[in-house]
Amino acid sequence: MSACFKGRVALVSGAASGIGRATAQILSRRGAAVCVADLDADGAQRVAAELVEAGGSALAVAMDVSTEAGNVDVVEQVMQKFGRLDVVHLNAGILSVGSLLETDLATWQRVLDVNLTAVFLGIKHTAPLLAVQGGSIVVTASFAGREGSYGMSSYVASKHGVTGLVKAAASELGPMGVRVNAVCPGPIYTDMMITAGSLDEVNASPVARTTMLERVGEAREVAELVCFLASDAASFITGAIHAVDGGMPVIGKPPA
């Protein structure tokens, strides 16, 4: 398993932090050259430097995933530096919390642009390169994109759009040798959640009890599934929506 990405090239968006960073680290450890793409230019540089420091090969690219120019540019940079593309993790995302009736159009549009339109653009601009030798796209959706979640309508709508787009893309790209899957994390301890307190504090909070394991997940636990789906071990898996959420939802559980 440890060298299963030897000779492969991967592009990970939202890789400066959280789930994307964890995926970049595992792919790099297992032999892939990794493009670390993120809106946070310094963060992308930092993570790429970590990978190189650990003996890997990496490229940092500052990009806004919601723009077509950013998607064209990142693919050009990957091809210039590494000459091929095998694995794509479309992972960058933003969360907006608030009632539907109070959500303004600009917020709605931004969440849809970053979480959904960016996935369309990412698939459109990477699939032709993956098709050259065959490849795999994994998209980070969410529990909110399978079951919904209270008080985050733009996020829920964008992530449901992502799961639909993954199924549609997989059916068109399958004959070209490109697999497309979605992962749906439950509550994961990343920057989004770290503001809520330490891991122990978060695990003692009601959000942890929404999972059957009674804890939140860690970024590497999502990244392991992403890397399995990206690998040849998952060669007959496509168009599927995979939960990685500690078992959700728990219905009818008595209060602590």
Is residue 182 a contact partner of residue 234, using CB atoms and an 8 Å limit? no
Decide if residue 65 touches ligand NAD (CB under 6 A).
Answer: yes
* Span 136-195, contacts to ligand NAD by CB under 6 A: 140, 142-143, 185, 187-188, 190-193
Decide if residue 66 touches ligand NAD (CB under 6 A).
Answer: yes
Peptide bond into 249 cis (omega under 30): yes
Is residue 156 a contact partner of residue 144, using CB atoms and an 8 Å limit? yes
Q: Which one, 4 or 72, has the nearer CB to ligand NAD?
A: 72
Find where tokens 């790429």 sit.
Answer: 48
d(CA 39, CA 108): 19
**Stretch near ligand NAD under the rule CB under 6 A, chosen from 50-58, 135-143, 169-177, 231-239:** 135-143
Is residue 127 a contact partner of residue 137, using CB atoms and an 8 Å limit? yes
Question: Any catalytic annotation for residue 189?
Answer: no
Contact residue for ligand NAD among 14, 122, 161, 246 (CB under 6 A): 14
- Which 3 state secondary structure label does DSSP give 182? strand
Our measurement of the distance from residue 2's CA atom to the centroid of its chain's CA atoms, rounded to an integer in Å, reads: 21
Catalytic residue among 155, 163, 179, 210: 155
Contact residue for ligand NAD among 72, 94, 131, 241 (CB under 6 A): 94
Residue 96: DSSP 8-state: -
Our measurement of the distance from residue 177's CA atom to the centroid of its chain's CA atoms, rounded to an integer in Å, reads: 21
What string marks each residue from 41 to 60 as x (binds ligand NAD by CB under 6 A) or -?
Answer: --x-----------------
Decide if residue 73 touches ligand NAD (CB under 6 A).
Answer: no
**Stretch near ligand NAD under the rule CB under 6 A, chosen from 80-88, 92-100, 197-205, 235-243:** 92-100
| Cα–Cα distances in angstroms (integers) from residue 74 to residues 29, 37, 38, 60, in the given order | 22, 8, 10, 10
What are the residue numbers of the active site? 155
- Give the residues lining the site for ligand NAD (CB under 6 A): 13-14, 16-20, 38-40, 43, 63-66, 91-94, 114, 140, 142-143, 185, 187-188, 190-193
